[in-house]
Amino acid sequence: MAIETLEDIYQNIKRDFGVVPEVYVRGENYIKYRNIAFSKNTGQVMMSNKSYGDLYLVERDGHSIDYMRPEELENAISIRGSLPYFFA
């Protein structure tokens, strides 16, 4: 399932791991799990004359903030990804 909204992140994690977030209000731009939070980039980040407005902000406790494209985030929250430790 392709990630287009925070609802997609919520559904993917709930389906694959059975985990519900600590904080999530549908329609808001923030979803918080045990040690990780996601939000969709609302501004524009310009790098090398390319617009990356569709990036997701990933805040892991104890780590620097990361920006991920939807495809990268989909892989990272999958069972073989790098992020399940933070929410599962």
DSSP per residue, 28-57? SS-EE-SSEEEEE--S--EETTEE-TT-EE
In angstroms, the CA 5 to CA 56 distance is 9
Q: Which token pair is 66?
A: 């990361």
On the question of pLDDT at 30 being above 90, the answer is yes
Residue 58 lies in a domain: yes
Residue 83 lies in a domain: no
On the question of pLDDT at 13 being above 60, the answer is yes
Which residues form the domain of 30?
6-78
Tell me 22's DSSP state: S
CB of 32 within 8 A of CB of 21? yes
In angstroms, the CA 76 to CA 83 distance is 6
Measure CA 59 to chain center: 9
Residue 19 lies in a domain: yes
| pTM score above 0.85 | no
In angstroms, the CA 40 to CA 67 distance is 9
Q: Into how many domains does the chain fold?
A: 1
Residue 88 lies in a domain: no
Per-residue confidence (pLDDT) for residue 52, from 0 to 100 = 55
Residue 40 lies in a domain: yes
Per-residue confidence (pLDDT) for residue 44, from 0 to 100 = 58
Q: Which token pair is 7?
A: 């609802």
Q: Per residue in 32-80, pLDDT tens?
A: 999 999 998 876 555 554 555 578 999 999 999 999 999 999 999 999 9
Mean pLDDT within 2-20: 92
